[in-house]
Structures are given as structure tokens and as C-alpha cells.
Amino acid sequence: MATGQDAAIPLSVPRGASAYAPPRLWPRVGNAAAVGIVLFWLFPVYWIVLTSFKPIVEINSAIPKFVFTPTLENYTHLFTKFQFTGVLLNSIVVTTTTCAIVMVLGVLAAYALARMHVPGEKHIALWILSLRFLPPIAVAIPFYIQWQNFHLLDTYAGLILVYIAFNLPFAIWLLRGFLADVPAELEEAALLDGMSRLQILVRVVVPIILPGLASTAIFVFVFTWNEYLMALMLTSVRAVTVPVQISKFVMPYTILWGDLSAAVVIQLVPMLAVVFLLQRHIVRGMTLGAVK
């Protein structure tokens, strides 16, 4: 019969192992912490969505309420009094046009840097990327003066040209990395078959880097859709975008929380839809070329 210290050790514990090993709670603690962090960051979005369906009386209540009778009053007021349809159309036209032009020009420029052996291509690529580091506030006034001389203020064309200039360097740099991972042997075989460089790009290379194209397009879409400073400087009435219109709900003596929340929810919907529809391509695009 075991006595003393030997009696305290369970028979199931292997020789040399500790009988007082702590329970394996770290994975559960880590998961709980991750869930807590996600909920913490998502709560403002949840509160904005909740506020967009609240009546004015509930919004201005001193005690926050989570249970109430939802209403579409804020959305109706947004589209009737503030003509939000035109503003939303402006953002859609500017963003989609910018994305299309940037992707076409970006693929052509990135392919030239990745395959054409341009003299000083590494320095050119680094210079192109450095343009993306330029603070927009540094060129806002020069753009305003030039666009005023060219009569491009408060126009689609003026805003689209600015967004192309800001997003094209980033797109070229990102697409150049995707194109560099495409095996050169495929293009050499296509050249032997009599295809031109443009045909190789369209028929061979683009289908291979399609996930990378989707990832780049989403970045360009988000950057353009959410841009505020240049839209504020270069538009006033006809080409006002959604971020600029949202800022107008913050007035000197009051804040239209209902209209602001409804506008923010509407602004979030296209981004969430694009990311959800292209989620599979995003994951593949971000890992393209990671495994050789």
C-alpha cells in the first residue's frame, strides 16, 4: 500500500510526467479573446445599422435602446429630402469607370515591366510605387488650380482622372508581382504558335492571374469608393460622391444621426457585396505564387 507522496500520484500518470500539469485552456482562451476582439471592432458597425432603423425619438433618447420598433423613415428621408439617388449614382459611375481604366492600364504597364525587359525596370517599378506614398493633401491645391483652368471642377472626368492617378501606381506594382509568377515557358510556347504579345496577354496570362486581378480590383474599388479629400476639394454640386454627402449631415449646431447612419449603411453595402462575391478570388489572389 502506497503512503505519503507516492499515494498522491495517480496510477495513470506515466513515469517522469508531472501529476499537476495545468489544463489545456490556452486554445479556448485564445479563441475567446479573438471573438471578443472581433465583436469589439464590429460593435460600431452594428450600432450604426441599428441607428439607421430607429425613429428620431429613439435616436435622441438619453438612454440607448436596443429594443424598438424599426422604421424606414431615415432611408425615406435620405432619398426624398437629400436626393441621395443622384449622389449614389455619382459614386457608382466614378468608381466603376476608375476601376475599369486602372485595371486595363495596370495590366498593360505591369506586363511590360515584368516581361519586356525595360531598361531600369526595377527603378521604374520602385518609382511608380513611390507615387502611391505621396500624401493627397500635398497635391490637392495644385489639382484644384489646374482643374479650374481646364474646366474640370465638379465633373466626372475631373474626379476620374485624379483617382486614376492615385490608384494606377498601386495597381501596377501589385499586378507586376502576379505577372512575374506566371511561368515564362507558357508565353514562349504561345510565341512559337504565332501569337502576338497582346494575344498572349489576353488569352494566356490574364486567365492565369484572374484571382490576382480580382484582388487588385477590390483594392482599387475600396480606395475609390471611400475617398473623401479629393472629392471634397474638386466637387460641389453635380459630381458629389457618397463620402462627401455623408459629411454634410454633420451641421454646425446638430448632427442628423438618422440620415447619417442610413447613408453609411448604404455606403457599406456595395463594398460588402463585392468582397462577398469575389471572396474566393481574393484568397487565391493573395496566395498566388506563394508556393513554387
Ordered by start, the domain boundaries in the chain are: 83-286
pTM of the model: 0.82
In contact, 121 and 55? CB cutoff 8 Å: no
Assess contact for 173 and 129: CB atoms under 8 A.
yes
Q: Rounded to the nearest 5°, which phi and psi values hold at 188?
A: -65, -40
User: Helices marked H in the chain — which ranges?
Assistant: 26-52, 56-59, 73-80, 84-115, 121-132, 136-149, 156-180, 184-192, 197-200, 206-208, 210-226, 229-234, 242-247, 257-277, 279-286
Measure the CA–CA gap between 219 and 150, rounded to whole angstroms: 29
Q: Which fold has domain 83-286?
A: MetI-like fold (1.10.3720)
What pLDDT tens digit does each residue of the chain (292 aa) get?
455 555 554 555 555 555 444 556 677 788 888 899 989 999 999 999 999 999 988 888 888 888 888 899 999 999 998 889 999 999 999 999 999 999 999 999 998 888 877 777 777 878 887 887 888 888 999 999 999 999 999 999 999 999 999 999 999 988 988 888 888 888 888 888 888 888 888 888 998 888 889 889 999 999 999 999 999 999 999 999 999 999 999 988 888 999 999 999 999 998 888 878 777 666 655 555 444 4
d(CA 218, CA 215): 5
